[in-house]
């Protein structure tokens, strides 16, 4: 009998050990504040993954369905080459540029993202400190984890744009645009690619429920906690030229239409007097199988014909990607996930480190390609090995 109890206890002990080993250790949300050493942005993602819970990592890193578009976004940069040119007499290169009259240290800005509060306790407040230090623009999402005005207050004079997920309720649209404008937003980004969220299987697998606060939305509904599905149900499904005109009218700010993936959509936006076109497939998080933004960019640039600036995102992980996007028709390049990884690992200084790293890579490429400034990069001809 004694032996039987011993065997049972041993079995129970082994079971408990197994459970402990298999269960994910509880991870507290980062409060780290430091510059980070970055070898490259792919390794940065792996490092950040160690800090995030499985649910948070899946939400941030994941794309939709088979993640074909997610992968193609980065891989398609490899299909064109930058031709080295050392015979230019170049002595230095300049990365600085402007967008809507705002001085930028480089052509790289931050894309709007929800969930900064999922990866760092200071959330968007640290992000904007990081973008200000890097001399660039922060984009604040409708679903920022901190109210717009609190983000703005945490980094006085930092330029920022406000991204709007338009609601079916115009009272909400007017309320939030007014709030963003009063807080100092320099432009409105109207996202048109997310009437419904993409089918993100990582979130389903991980039973991930978006649990970060969305104070801009809850404040409007007088403190009532709005669930993820309620917030999504409020969003407009489809967009038209009238929506662009309406947002222009109520904001009186430049309006950039984000989520443009075709020449036809670019034409509609420009005809509706959009002030900027943001070429994006939402980082492969929406329609899987959509073309990579890098492949679509020249077709869109052909229609835009430099009438308004083109901002480009999705899959940018290298200075050479920034170079290629600019040479393929973009005026400005935005990054998403890498900045959240920088935030998770080092707070404001982590975000700053990410921008500095990309700027350094871009500078190296510019020197090796013999392009002295951003204008020269835009005029550079990439080599297409399939059409030699
Ligand atoms: C975690 C996460 C949250 C996002 N939230 C928003 C959002 O609130 N509004 C929006 O317009 N785009 C959102 N995006 C899309 C980004 O603005 C951007 O298009 C995309 O991340 C660029 O791809 P990249 O991450 O490969 O750089 C989000 C992306 C991620 C990864
Ligand atoms: C109610 C929160 C939904 C956040 C959606 C943010 C987003 O665009 C994403 O890609 O995720």
Q: How many CB atoms lie within 10 A of CB 218?
A: 15
Q: Are 327 and 374 in contact (CB under 8 A)?
A: no
How far apart, in whole angstroms, are the C-alpha atoms of residue 154 and residue 351? Answer: 15
C-beta of 281 in contact with ligand 2 (< 6 A): no
Q: Which residues of 5-17 are buried (b: 16+ CB within 10 A; e: fewer)?
A: eeeeeeeeeeeee
Q: How many CB atoms lie within 10 A of CB 249?
A: 9
ipTM associated with this complex: 0.99
Q: How far is the CA of 379 from the centre of ligand 1 (A)?
A: 28
Residue nearest to ligand 2 atom 9, measured at CA: 114
Q: Spell out the SS3 assignment of 322-378.
A: HHHHHHCCCCEEEECHHHHHHHHHHHHHHHHHHHHHHHHHHHHHHHHHCCCCHHHHH
pLDDT of residue 18: 38
Low-confidence stretches of the chain (pLDDT beneath 70):
1-25, 223-226, 228
* CA-based nearest residue to 107, from 341, 354, 368, 355: 355
Dump pLDDT digits (tens) for 279-314: 999 999 999 999 999 999 999 999 999 999 999 999
How far apart, in whole angstroms, are the C-alpha atoms of residue 6 and residue 120? Answer: 46
pLDDT of residue 212: 83
Strands (E), 53-168: 97-99, 102-104, 108-110, 138-140, 160-164
Q: What is the DSSP string of 87-102?
A: TT--------EEETTE
Q: Which ligand is nearest to the Cα of residue 293, counting in written order?
A: 1
How far apart, in whole angstroms, are the C-alpha atoms of residue 115 and residue 211? Answer: 9
Main-chain phi, psi angles of 290, to 5 degrees: -65, 150
Atom of ligand 1 nearest to the CA of 193: 11
How far apart, in whole angstroms, are the C-alpha atoms of residue 355 and residue 322? Answer: 12
β-pair partners for 199? none
C-beta of 218 in contact with ligand 2 (< 6 A): no
DSSP letter at 79 equals G
Residue in this structure with the two tokens 């973009």, named with its chain if needed:
330
Residue nearest to ligand 1 atom 6, measured at CA: 113
* CA-based nearest residue to 129, from 142, 116, 118: 116
* CA-based nearest residue to 159, from 146, 178, 179, 140: 140
pLDDT of residue 221: 79
Q: Which residues of 337-350 are buried (b: 16+ CB within 10 A; e: fewer)?
A: bbbbbbbbbbbbbb
Q: Are 95 and 87 in contact (CB under 8 A)?
A: no
Dump pLDDT digits (tens) for 310-339: 999 999 999 999 999 999 999 999 999 999
How far apart, in whole angstroms, are the C-alpha atoms of residue 222 and residue 127? Answer: 27
C-beta of 70 in contact with ligand 1 (< 6 A): no
Q: Which ligand is nearest to the Cα of residue 339, counting in written order?
A: 1
pLDDT of residue 370: 98
Residue in this structure with the two tokens 């409020």, named with its chain if needed:
234
Q: Which ligand is nearest to the Cα of residue 256, counting in written order?
A: 1
How far apart, in whole angstroms, are the C-alpha atoms of residue 194 and residue 72? Answer: 20
* Pairing label, strands 97-99, 102-104: antiparallel
Write out the two tokens for 285. Answer: 């998080």
Residue nearest to ligand 2 atom 11, measured at CA: 114
DSSP letter at 276 equals E
pTM of the model: 0.94
Angle at 353 between CA 165 and CA 284, to 5 degrees: 40
């Amino acid at each position: 009998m004694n032996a039987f109890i011993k065997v049972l206890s041993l079995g129970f002990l082994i079971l408990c050990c197994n459970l402990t080993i298999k269960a994910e250790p509880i991870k507290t949300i980062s409060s780290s504040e430091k510059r980070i050493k970055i070898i490259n942005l792919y390794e940065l993602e792996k490092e950040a993954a160690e800090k995030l819970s499985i649910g948070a990592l899946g939400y941030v890193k994941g794309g939709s369905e088979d993640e074909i578009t997610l992968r193609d976004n980065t891989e398609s940069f490899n299909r064109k080459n930058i031709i080295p040119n050392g015979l230019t007499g170049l002595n230095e290169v300049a990365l600085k540029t402007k967008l809507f009259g705002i001085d930028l240290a480089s052509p790289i800005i931050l894309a709007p993202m929800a969930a900064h509060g999922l990866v760092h306790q200071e959330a968007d407040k640290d992000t904007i400190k990081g973008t200000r230090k890097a001399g660039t623009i922060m984009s604040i999402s409708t679903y920022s984890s901190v109210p717009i005005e609190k983000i703005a207050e945490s980094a006085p004079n930092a330029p920022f744009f406000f991204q709007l997920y338009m609601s079916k309720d115009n009272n909400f649209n007017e309320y939030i645009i007014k709030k963003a404008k009063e807080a100092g937003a320099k432009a409105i980004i109207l996202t048109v690619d997310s009437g419904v969220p993409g089918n993100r299987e990582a979130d389903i697998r991980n039973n991930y429920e978006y649990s970060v606060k969305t104070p801009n939305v809850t404040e409007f509904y007088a403190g009532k906690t709005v669930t993820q599905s309620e917030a999504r149900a409020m969003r407009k499904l489809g967009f038209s030229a009238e929506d662009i005109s309406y947002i222009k009218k109520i904001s009186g700010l430049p309006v950039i239409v984000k989520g443009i993936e075709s020449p036809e959509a670019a034409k509609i936006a420009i005809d509706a007097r959009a002030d900027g076109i943001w070429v994006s497939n939402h980082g492969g998080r929406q329609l899987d199988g959509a073309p990579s933004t890098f492949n679509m960019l020249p077709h869109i640039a052909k229609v835009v014909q430099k009438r308004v600036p083109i901002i480009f995102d999705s899959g940018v992980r290298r200075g050479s990607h920034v170079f290629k996007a600019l040479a393929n028709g973009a005026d400005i390049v935005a990054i998403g996930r890498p900045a959240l990884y920088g935030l998770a690992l080092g707070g404001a200084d982590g975000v700053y480190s990410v921008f500095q790293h990309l700027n350094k890579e871009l500078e190296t490429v510019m020197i090796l390609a013999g392009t002295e400034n951003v204008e020269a990069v835009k005029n550079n001809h990439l080599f297409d090995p399939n059409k030699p």
